[in-house]
Amino acid sequence: MNFIRKITNSSPAEDEEFIMAIKKILGYRPKKINFYKEAFTHSSLKRTNEKGRPLNYERLEFLGDAILGAVIANYLFKKIPSGNEGYLTQMRSKIVSREHLNELGKDLDLKRFVESSISNNNFGDNIHGNLFEALIGAIHSDRGYSFTEKFIYRFVIEPYVDIERLEGKITSYKSVLIEWSQKNKKKIRYHVYEDTGNDTLKHFSVKLSVDQDIISKGRATSKKKAEEIASKRAYYKLKPQIET
């Protein structure tokens, strides 16, 4: 089913098709469809409302990020009464990591709903997590906190949150490498050696060296992500040294 269409000016039949697809995900019928339309409208369309405000998913993504963080924080606060602030913050970061949110967005195949002037093939991986957060923002705007909390429990907490597993999960390989290098007086350097593509889809290639030796490389649509990919590869290459 192809949902890449102009849903803002869609016909009643198209609206109903969209509503039923969203209902299949949520388990109930949306009341205010416009919030969900906005949640899947990309900024490349440069749409505005009657007051001239940009009409795309970015504001709902901001709201969804905040609501998701609050629900997860409340869950962890109750679930782990012995956890201090630092521990709880670390656990929340692992649950709402960009990597995890991208997986959730992919599982729900949210990208099929996006209306954009950019080809679907040209989106970076983060589009999946962005849409997941925007959907949470739409649910909250449409039905309020209680419905949103239930959605987060159903799609995030119940199927994915395992405290013991999360405790051993690495969320930033770059941080692990930097900590290891400082402890062992190693010199780590990240070097961008290639910057290709246009503004819509730019790619960065990064080399990671330890004491002048190139250990790994990474390529992604952002410098930060390329560094993390290179760091992850370096981590597994240097794992025997890091874990001694």
Any idea which residues carry the catalytic annotation?
65, 133
Would you call 29 exposed, middle or buried from its count of C-beta atoms within 10 A (0-12, 13-18, 19+)?
A: exposed
**What DSSP assignment string belongs to 147-176?**
HHHHHHIIIIIHHH--HHHHHT--S-HHHH
Sign of the Cα pseudo-torsion (38, 43, 44, 46, in order): positive
Alpha-carbon gap, residue 26 to 30, rounded angstroms: 8
Residue type, 103: E
How far apart are alpha carbons 238 and 242 in whole angstroms? 6
